[in-house]
Amino acid sequence: METAGAIIVAAGRGKRMGTTESKQFLPLAGKPVLVYALEAFERTGRFERIVVVTGEEDRERVCKLAAGCRLKTPIIVVAGGKERQHSVYAGLQAVDSDWVLVHDAARPFIEPAQIERCLSAAQERQAAAVLAVRVKDTIKVADEAGVITHTPNRDTLWAVQTPQAFRTVELREAHEHAAREGFVGTDDAMLMERAGKQVHIVEGSYSNIKLTTPDDWHWAEEHIRRYAERDSEIRVEENGAAETARQRKETDG
């Protein structure tokens, strides 16, 4: 059976979030953002190890945070590099599984089922696979003067997310190829594309947002609040149904 490992990139500084604290450590509903991703990957039961890539100055902090989660999956913490691409490559050095999933810690609403679908799609196709959602807005391409040059066909456009799944050897080779050419991409799928590899889309969820700005943070807090209210309503309904059933049983008895 083919094995799988995960890399969670948690080296962002959160400048656009407007805070001095790294966003992966910010408490969201009382829990650090990074922990949401760790728990989601743990719940799949599919990974030999989870590698967390963070800043050198945060390694000890992440180690303590991971230990506090009491996860069954081994957690390895490594120092990242200047760019996200360099951080992922550093994480790859700690992965020896057949497959690897790369995920941004700043996407706390990733669900175990989405992780499994991404990995399964890659393994079934024996090719890279990425989560993505269809673009809902009309996209315009403009020149440096801000003049629109053309409008791409929206039906062909997807907003790519993480996790992204790859054969570990192929992703490592794609990173090394990019490094030799001095190319820095915005995600790992781009490096695979440049290396001539196929990358398949797996439909994701619009709730799997990346927390980047204060607006994102406000949305995340509201999302959790709505989820908690819905969960509470379901429990009330279940308890009510159970109580009704008990009363009927007593009456019948």
Identify the pLDDT of residue 252: 64
Per DSSP (E only), the strands in the chain are 4-9, 27-28, 31-32, 50-54, 75-79, 99-104, 128-134, 141-142, 148-150, 158-167, 199-203
Band the pLDDT of 50: cuts 50, 70, 90. Answer: very high
**Cα separation, 251 vs 18, whole angstroms:** 61
Residue 229 has pLDDT above 80, yes or no: no
Quick count: other Cβ atoms within 10 Å of Cβ 238?
A: 10
Residue pair 211/33 in contact by the 8 Å Cβ criterion: yes
Residue pair 211/220 in contact by the 8 Å Cβ criterion: yes
pLDDT tens per residue across span 10-48: 987 766 666 778 889 999 999 999 999 999 999 999 999
Residue pair 62/77 in contact by the 8 Å Cβ criterion: yes
pLDDT tens per residue across span 64-110: 999 999 999 999 999 999 999 999 999 999 999 999 999 999 999 99
Bridge pairing between strands 158-167 and 50-54: unpaired
Give the max Cα distance, the chain.
Answer: 81
Q: Read off φ and ψ for residue 144, nearest 5 degrees.
A: -65, -25
Residue 190 has pLDDT above 80, yes or no: yes
Identify the pLDDT of residue 234: 47
Quick count: other Cβ atoms within 10 Å of Cβ 235?
A: 10
- For residue 246, the SS3 value is helix
Identify the pLDDT of residue 249: 59
Identify the pLDDT of residue 167: 98
DSSP state, 138?
A: P
Q: What is the mean pLDDT of the chain?
A: 91
Identify the pLDDT of residue 62: 96
Sole residue written with tokens 């807090």: 221
Identify the pLDDT of residue 247: 54
Identify the pLDDT of residue 228: 72
Q: Which of 56-70, 160-174, 178-192, 214-228 has the lowest mean pLDDT?
A: 214-228
Band the pLDDT of 176: cuts 50, 70, 90. Answer: very high
Q: Read off φ and ψ for residue 195, nearest 5 degrees.
A: -85, 5
Residue pair 204/133 in contact by the 8 Å Cβ criterion: yes
Rounded to an integer, the average pLDDT of 173-186 is: 97
Identify the pLDDT of residue 236: 43
Percent of the chain with pLDDT over 70: 88
Q: Which of 129-133, 152-156, 224-228, 248-252 has the lowest mean pLDDT?
A: 248-252
User: What does pTM read for this prediction?
Assistant: 0.88
Helices (H) and strands (E) in the chain, counts: 7, 11
Rounded to an integer, the average pLDDT of 207-218 is: 94
**Cα separation, 8 vs 4, whole angstroms:** 13
